[in-house]
Copies of this chain bind each other. A is one copy, B any other.
Amino acid sequence: MGEPKSDIVVMKFGGTSVAGAEQIKRAAGRIVAAREAGNRVVAVLSARGKTTDELVSQAQEISDRPDPREMDMLLSTGERISCALCAMAIHDMGHEAISLTGSQAGIVTDSFHTKARIVDVRADRIKEALVEDRIVLVAGFQGVSTDSRDVTTLGRGGSDTTAVALAAALQAGVCEIYTDVSGVFSADPRLVPDARKLPRVSFEEMLEMSASGAGVLQLRSVEYARNHGVRIHCRSSFEDGPGTLVVSEEETMEQPFVTAITHSKAEARVTLTGVRDEPGVAGRIFSALADANVNVDVIIQNEPVGGDQLADLSFTVDRTDLQTAKDTIAALGDVSLKVRADEQIGKVSIIGAGMRSHPGVAAKVFEVLGNERINIEMISTSPIKISCVIAAERVDDAVKSLHETFELGDEAVRPEDPTGPAQRPTVAN
């Protein structure tokens, strides 16, 4: 890493990393160690373990449709609790720490409650505290709206985004994301025992991985990091040693064909028949789904075959969104539309920046799945990704075969590994 390096480190700890008193003390220990190593430290904390779920259920006891502004006021308390407790632990270790709410930390957002977007980071107060030689703890997942000075929350994965945004604003040398896994793997280690911890992945690969089932980093935070050039280091709260660096493509010295296999088993497919083949029909359907906050993944439309100008349209959604999707389509009131749903749908994705220059990857994927007699129901591709929608029950087989075929396992020690001697990663979970 030859580039000039800021001495500011942003460290983010997720919910499992601050779940109990022991975990908070451990996180405090890591923060203090980073400070004692000569860094100026800003730490972003999530709500403890189940806190957010408990708050949500308190709201549900009161109201079926809680007001979003008040939901944000409610949910934002969880991260504040974590920060206050962690500051206490750091004080006991002999260091000065100060906890800040999202608002105090200068995280300015728009006014879309429960899914606000960061529009500005006014980190003056953080900078002041760093000058005063304090460790700064920032409540993740929240901000304050410019126009109404209300507490907002950033939605799912918001604390990762808080950390990356602060790292960008403070020009931090690195944004370390601590979770209960030790890095980004070539496949889910619970499924593929010899999955390899990747020393580096590019932002583009990480985006595809986050979008296709790798839970370690939230898509949105990776986008923010790419747009602002923030180096992310995914690490484990519970073990030492390096994790995975997410960096710009120029920094990943080698581009293997395939970097990782990701998967998801929690999808559902909706098939619409009787879609009128007129301009605007599909647009109307997907606008309605977007308004209902249904995230549509793979889409296929078949050309109409008969003379009735009615087409078929299939798409996949998160299984938890299936009922909303059905309700939304029913609410369109289009009598010719027939809806069919398959809830046992999964997806396997092959990701690698090197695919751009190796057009044979797709053919190989189809061959592998064919040999396994796994039926590919839908396909979607990007320059660095191939996703195949398959039956949920065949996902495990598909991941294993593809991981083996593309030789992604741990035995293949790569030359670009910056961690020195090859380390066998300890698999979390």
Where the two chains meet, the residues of A that have a C-beta atom closer than 8 Å to any C-beta of B are 20-21, 24-25, 55, 58-59, 61-67, 69-71, 73-74, 76-77, 80-81, 83-85, 87-89, 91-92, 97-99, 101, 104, 125, 149, 151
Contact = CB atoms under 8 A, between A and B. Distances in A.
Nearest to A65: B92
A151 B151 CA distance: 15
Given A62-B24, A80-B77, A81-B77, A70 B87 contact: yes
Nearest to A79: B77
Nearest to A25: B62
A85 B59 contact: yes
**CB-CB nearest 9 A-B residue pairs:** A77-B77, A74-B84, A21-B61, A73-B84, A63-B88, A70-B84, A70-B87, A66-B88, A67-B91
A80 B84 contact: no
B58 A70 contact: no
A81 B58 contact: yes
Given A73-B99, A74-B80, A77-B80, A88 B104 contact: no
A84 B98 contact: no
A277 B65 CA distance: 70
A149 B88 CA distance: 19
Given A20-B61, A67-B88, 4 more contacts: A73-B83, A73-B87, A77-B80, A125-B149
A29 to B, nearest CB: 12
Contacts of A66: 88, 91
A89 B63 contact: yes
Nearest to A86: B62
Contact of A55 (B58, B71, B81, B99): B81
A85 B74 contact: yes
Contacts of A21: 58, 61-62
